[in-house]
Chain A
Amino acid sequence: MAGKPRVFIVDDHGLFRSGVRSELGDQVEVVGEADDVAPAIALIAEQQPDVVLLDVHLPGGGGQMVITAVKPEYPQVRFLALSASDAPEDVIAVVRAGARGYVTKTISSPELVDAIERVAAGDAVFSPRLAGFVLDAFAAAAPEPGAVQPSFDPELDQLTNREREVLRLIARGYTYKEVARELYISVKTVETHVSSVLRKLQLSTRHQLTRWAAERRLT
């Protein structure tokens, strides 16, 4: 892609926004920021950035509300979820709404820039934590033998062994490059696998996935 990615920051903490702004420096072009759902939707429509850094928790509702409002009209705007909270169900909810990835707020600056560029290029960004959440969600949602499948597309409801291996290595702290070397595949293939997992996560209608999230909320 040509030039620096145009980035928009949505976070209710002013301190955090200015922190990210100065961290990113001139490696990306920060085109705007917002502190809540409503202004974010309006300003994103106006600016049409490449990547929106989206806080999972906003005062006016979850970050997924921004995605569901913007996505239909501006499908080219991509979202990278950011959060300080570890609650898996919130993270999964934002990713299911359409975020291309998830990183924690403790991420280092070069890693954040790398993640933004990856998302801008249309790839998925899985932090070790998100990989763990996804493995957990799909493991909990593994079909019981003989159970009636409620989904119309069973393929979406399960991860392939290869995808599972890739996610496991990411959860163990491997970079995409290291995953590729470990499994004797190309980085491009790793990216394909990760994108495929992201698609399944977003499209799967298994009720178990929802139930998993509900159970995690209870604990």
Chain B
Amino acid sequence: MMEGMDEKTRPAPDWTPRPGEPPNVWHGRGGHGRLRRLGARWGHGPFRRAREGKLAGGIAAAVAERTGIDATLVRIVFVVATLLSSGIVLALYVLGWLLLSRPDEHDTIAARALADRRGIMLALGWGSVLAALLLILSILGTGWLGLPAWPLIISAMGLVLIWRNAPADEQELMRRTAQPLMNRMAGPARSRLVARLCIGAALLAGGMVSLLLGHPGRILLRQLGGVTLVIAAIVVVLGPWWLHIARDLVVERQARARAEERADMASQLHDSVLQTLALIQRRADDPQKVVQLARAQERELRALLFEGRGPGSLGGEGMTLAEGVRLIQQEVEAQHGTSVEAVTVGDCDLSDDLTALLAAAREATVNAVKWSGAPVVSLFAEVEPGEVSIFVRDRGRGFDPDAVPDDRKGVAESIRGRMTRRGGTATIRSVRGEGTEVSLKMPRAA
């Protein structure tokens, strides 16, 4: 029924792994596909276990994220609800852990567990042992096979399946949680551990006795005392490990944040530096091209390291004059392979007039690079209160202003035109054999 409803509301289940998600093993589209979708449909949107900020299964963290309530508060509510509901909430938690997928996963633990025959056998075996144990206790007259027993058995079986089928990082977490229990008789802290275990056992025994011999009249009081003692026992025995685990969790989270940062940096370096190095290797026989590539890369890398700008993120809205000058420098160097020595004094936001000034400066720079034959072109911009001036200078072959070929005259006129239309001036000085300097001045609107 669930499946049919699903097929109607969802046109086609998404079986293809999305990019960026880890490739995972698919287990066909049998019954566990239904489980997965059942899990995914809990709540309004797909409700998924949290990957960040989790202690165990990440359900409390996910609830906290969904509702905006503090995760610690949610956890406290979980614990209290578990105590009050005789463990039913705990069982629900384990079921949730099994049936909800994590955002970085394609399927749920339950889906994978269905393919894990040995895990199912183990869970069933473990569940039956527990059931038997509780049955014996109930025969002894404690009535434990009642309400608290089934959630406990379900939780235990669920945990076995989770243990075997959870994502690698959760398995690691559980292994570390359980490790001290498994090799408790080894290691240097052995005597302290034994002492802790003895105290814990004594408290536990006291609590159990208090619970087991509950007198009808004072049953509530005795049960409360018993529960307190049991909790005290657990804290004494497991407290230090929990602290240790909590510390490890923090360290692990920091390590992951660092790893993500590194991956980010690596991808940026790959896009820029590695690509350029590959290009340089291919162009090794062309020194001019190699120098050009290295220079463009150097600027890009410097922008990334010192100014926090990613490659190609220059320009756009809110650009200042100095940034515009730098952009001209980078573009011209990258496109023409001649180095541009750019110096700016002062800075201001770009107006339409100043954008026109930059366009004229760019044209003058490209012109100098193309025609002068000089290895370096100087680009100097100064922002003063009343005006902004840009000088483009080369020490190249220069030209005689009276004998300019028509095509160059056109360029000069277009530079001049851009400036005069906006109320600025353009002066071009050139001496044959000594170089050319274009002076551009644009008044600043108040």
- Chain A residues packing against B (C-beta within 8 Å): 84-87, 106, 128-129, 131-132, 135-136, 139-140, 168, 171-174
Contact = CB atoms under 8 A, between A and B. Distances in A.
Contact of B378 (A87, A139, A173): A173
B378 A128 contact: yes
Contact of A171 (B298, B376, B380): B380
B93 interface: no
Interface of A is mostly: helix
A139 B345 contact: yes
Contact of B306 (A85, A131, A173): A85
Nearest to B439: A172
Interface string B256-269: 00000000000000
B142 interface: no
B97 to A, nearest CB: 48
Contacts of B339: 106
B318 to A, nearest CB: 14
Contacts of B341: 128-129, 173
Contacts, number: 49
Interface string B352-378: 000000000000000000000000111
Contacts of B378: 128, 172-173
A172 B345 contact: no
A172 B380 contact: yes
6 contacts: A129-B343, A135-B345, A136-B344, A140-B346, A173-B341, A173-B376
Contacts of B344: 132, 136
A168 B382 CA distance: 9
Interface residues of B, number: 19
Nearest to B291: A106
Contacts of A86: 302, 306
B75 interface: no
B334 to A, nearest CB: 15
Nearest to A129: B343
B295 interface: yes
Nearest to B326: A86
Contacts of A135: 345, 382
A139 B382 CA distance: 11
A139 B306 contact: no
A171 B342 CA distance: 9
Given A106-B295, A136-B344, 6 more contacts: A128-B343, A132-B344, A132-B380, A135-B382, A168-B382, A172-B378
B393 A87 contact: no
Nearest to A105: B298
A173 B346 contact: no
Interface in B369-396: 376-378, 380, 382, 391, 393, 395
Contacts of A131: 343
B39 to A, nearest CB: 50
A171 B339 CA distance: 15
A129 B306 CA distance: 17
B437 interface: yes
Contact of A128 (B298, B380, B395): B380
A173 B394 CA distance: 8
A172 B376 CA distance: 12
Contacts of B382: 135, 168, 171
A168 B380 CA distance: 9
A171 B343 contact: yes
A139 B385 CA distance: 11
B345 A136 contact: yes
A106 B333 CA distance: 14
A206 B421 CA distance: 42
B346 A139 contact: yes
Contacts of B306: 85-87
Nearest to A85: B306
Contact of B343 (A87, A106, A132, A140): A132
A173 B342 CA distance: 9
Interface string B321-359: 000000000000000000101011110000000000000
Given A129-B341, A132-B345, A172 B437 contact: yes
B295 to A, nearest CB: 7
A141 to B, nearest CB: 12
A164 B125 CA distance: 90
Contacts of A174: 393
A58 to B, nearest CB: 17
Contact of B393 (A85, A132, A173): A173
Interface in B146-183: none
A109 B139 CA distance: 97
A99 B40 CA distance: 67
A87 B346 CA distance: 15
Contacts of B380: 128, 132, 168, 171-173
A204 B331 CA distance: 38
A135 B339 CA distance: 23
A131 to B, nearest CB: 7
Contacts of A84: 298, 302
A125 to B, nearest CB: 15
A172 B435 CA distance: 13
A172 B393 contact: yes
B415 to A, nearest CB: 17
Nearest to B393: A173
A69 B377 CA distance: 38
Contacts of A129: 341, 343
